Amino acid sequence: MASRQAEPISVSRAVEAAHRAVEIMPTLVVTGEVSGFRGPSKPKGNCYFQVKDESASMEVAIWGNVYKAQGIELKDGLEIVLTGHFDVYLRSGRLSFVASKVEIAGIGLLMMRVRELSNRLECEGLMDQSRKRPIPRFCTRIVVVTSLSGAVIDDVKRTLARRNPFVEIYVVGSPVQGKDAPATLVRALAAAAKARPDCILLVRGGGSYEDLMTFNDETLARAVASCPVPVVTGIGHEPDTTICDMVADRRASTPTAAAESVAPALDEVVAQINEREARLCRALSQLLASERAGLDGLGQRAEKAMTRQLAIDGAAVEALGGRRCLADPASIVSDRVSTLLMSEQRLHDAIPRSLARKRRELVQNGERLSNASARMLRPHEATLAKLAATIDALSPLKVLGRGYAIARDEAGHVVTSAAQLETGDDLEVLVEHGSILARVTGVRAENGDEGQTTSAARAAEGGETHE
């Protein structure tokens, strides 16, 4: 019996059928290597790449918000673990794995964490060369921090003893891998620093990347950076570099190289001393030769300078010897005496003339002062005469001269009214040429009762009584 041929369908229906088929597939967890990574072209853009293994690959898409939430940076060659589901894009029919979660797998995850820590510590300046301390050229006291169970400590001791047997070596044992190793190494560094050595050797032998993760611990790295004693690291082999290597004051490729860097061989020390001795001898010889040549030059220059100065001084002395004051001092004195006599005569002639001139000037100045004083006093004299006339006209004495008198009581007050007086009061009467002392025998009032008042006064004086 012939089979029935299926009816053809459109591309759209075929893609929809595939889409519905993959929708019912469960969520898958896939691991593989990133290839052809295309990051987002804008802050919230999507990411597209392939994930492959030895025999297959598949397209992967991560939406922008999902990629940003993961907090990781994908790149080619990175081993990752994806969680998500397959989906068919309806427009193109392309099958893609849409990831909802991304994780770094195995060593890749460890590397990412180490890189993030390294970047953070570098931003803090812990890896700057400016903060790293110099290691003494000749260390005489060294503390080694490492495991006591391996061959590393024996290699370090042999190297130090071979190169310089006078170096004091102390050892602080600690495990160098395992869960508790970082905390134990931190305590070991603190104990080593208390011994006050010239430097500390933090060393361990080679191992896998996971074995060396102890020396990528943040707490241990910060302890190395803050150690009060310079730290030299020798961790693993030449290619191995840990965060402790980056923050240490010196990094050596191996434990043996670390020991050699802090303990120069004795023959090297002797050779350096001999070389420096030879250099010092050469330098001293050159300095002495230079100083000797300088002294010779100074002597020649001093001799020439003294010869020139003597010649100058000799010429000056000869010039002084030719001067008249030194050759014929008597004539100089005679000239001086003549000059003084002439000056004396001129003074005698000039003094009378000067006195006469000064006398004339004084007379003239006196006349000017007299005239000026007269002119200045004339208006004041007129004013004074006018005021004197006014005062004379208003003077009480002027009134007394016309026959008037001024009466004053015993207190010296001027009596201006008869009512101020009583019989028996003493008075002083001022007239033109003196004063009269009087006693009141009666007071005449202005109302005309003067006779009665006078009789009463007289009766009081004579002792008369009237009824």
Model pLDDT, residue 223: 93
Give yes or no for residue 371 having a pLDDT over 90. Answer: no
Model pLDDT, residue 106: 62
In angstroms, rounded to a whole number, what is the distance separating the alpha carbons of residues 306 and 310? 6
Q: Using 50, 70 and 90 to split pLDDT, how confident is the model at 417?
A: confident
Indicate the burial class of 207 (C-beta count within 10 angstroms; 0-12, 13-18, 19 or more): middle
Model pLDDT, residue 201: 94
How is the beta sheet containing 434-439 ordered, strand by strand?
A: 406-408, 426-431, 434-439
Give yes or no for residue 379 having a pLDDT over 50. Answer: yes
What mean pLDDT value characterizes the chain? 83
Give yes or no for residue 324 having a pLDDT over 80. Answer: no
> What is the mean pLDDT of the segment spanning 449-467?
40
Model pLDDT, residue 202: 95
> What is the mean pLDDT of the segment spanning 435-441?
88
3 state DSSP class of 153: helix
In angstroms, rounded to a whole number, what is the distance separating the alpha carbons of residues 216 and 211? 10
Q: Residue 331 has which token pair?
A: 């004539």
Give yes or no for residue 51 having a pLDDT over 70. Answer: yes
Indicate the burial class of 373 (C-beta count within 10 angstroms; 0-12, 13-18, 19 or more): exposed
Q: What percent of the chain has pLDDT over 70?
A: 91
Q: Using 50, 70 and 90 to split pLDDT, how confident is the model at 250?
A: very high
pLDDT tens by residue, 172-205: 999 998 889 999 999 999 999 999 999 999 999 8
Q: Residue 84 has which token pair?
A: 């998500």
In angstroms, rounded to a whole number, what is the distance separating the alpha carbons of residues 180 and 304? 86
> What is the mean pLDDT of the segment spanning 387-396?
78
Give yes or no for residue 454 having a pLDDT over 70. Answer: no
136-264 CATH pick, 3.30.70.890, 3.40.50.2300, 3.30.460.10, 3.40.50.300: 3.40.50.2300
Task: Note the CATH number of domain 11-104.
Answer: 2.40.50.140
| Residue type (1 letter), 366 | G
Model pLDDT, residue 196: 93
Least confident of 26-40, 126-140, 225-239, 264-278: 264-278
> What is the mean pLDDT of the segment spanning 427-433?
84
Give yes or no for residue 102 having a pLDDT over 70. Answer: yes
> What is the mean pLDDT of the segment spanning 436-444?
87
The residue ranking higher by pLDDT, 326 or 392, is: 392
